[in-house]
Amino acid sequence: MRQIILTGLVVAPFAAIIVWHWSILGAFGIIALSHGLVLYPTLRPNVQWLGPVMTRFETTEREVWLTVDDGPTDDTAALLDLFDARGVKATFFVKGVLAEKHPESIREIVRRGHTIGNHSYSHPSATFWCLPAWNIAAQIERCNLVLANILGAPPKLFRAPVGTKNPSVHPVLKRNGLTLVGWSARAFDTKTSDPDRVVGRIMPDIAPGTIILLHQGRRESVAMLARVIDEVQARGYRFVIPPTDRLRTNK
């Protein structure tokens, strides 16, 4: 699909020129369609058209994967204590600029048995989808370098800011041995401070192999994570970190 979309972008202007002689609206339609086929998978998280996005993991057990975005922040220590108390393992997708300032938090996350993923260097959430190729590469590779300097090796997982990506993202990921991770349960917890609403959004999507997306660094982040963990565990699920060979693209 990716190759069809990119080929369409190249061919569309020439096709539009030819069609222009018969139909101006038809010419504009061709251009609009070619751009729409790029914008849709760019702006819609988890859409696979430009390359694979892992949205589940393979398991026959009642297991889910908790992923926490946007750290490390002031509540990292409290989250680690919460996870220890509940027997939870998670993956933290961190911003390179924050990891650079708080390397001890990154080391502590790993020391406590959790894993680290790349969430870009500065998390340009409003513009990541339209950044040029060189800037996409800088965001991903600079974060990788920061984490490699702290931990001795770069991460293997990447999550795009707010899930957006453009045609430049997957080539950079391939070059750096990174896997793009999406989610299958999302609470929009950056838009609310109500733990009940967060639980209400997450729980309908809980199933074996679900990837849960939550965030840290907000006023109620710890409370919201605690509520989700308690509700999920009450249903008999365990929080695990799956190996990369069990990650799947089907939502």
Selected catalytic residue, list 69, 70, 75, 189: 69
Q: How far is CA 205 from CA 19, 55, 102, in A?
A: 46, 12, 33
First-residue to last-residue Cα distance in the chain: 18
How many Å apart are CA 72 and CA 171, to the nearest integer?
27
- DSSP 3-state of 242: coil
Cα 159 from Cα 179, distance rounded (Å): 8
Q: Which of 81, 215, 230, 245 is catalytic?
A: 215
DSSP E strands, 83-170: 90-94, 115-118, 157-158
69 is catalytic: yes
Confidence of residue 188 (pLDDT cuts 50, 70, 90): very high
Taking CA atoms, 96 is separated from 92, 121, 133, 171, 190, in Å, by 12, 4, 19, 20, 20
Reported confidence tier of residue 200, pLDDT bands at 50, 70, 90: very high
Name the token pair of 113: 């048995």
Dihedrals phi, psi of 93, to nearest 5 degrees: -90, 110
Q: What is the pLDDT of residue 18?
A: 81
Question: Among 30, 29, 67, which Cα is nearest to 45's?
Answer: 67
pLDDT recorded at residue 12: 54
Active site residue 215: yes
pLDDT tens digits, 93-120: 999 999 999 999 999 999 999 999 999 9
- Residue bearing tokens 């070059």: 175
pTM for the whole thing? 0.93
> What is the rounded CA–CA span in Å between residue 165 and residue 140?
12
Rounded to 10°, the helix 76-86/103-111 angle is: 0
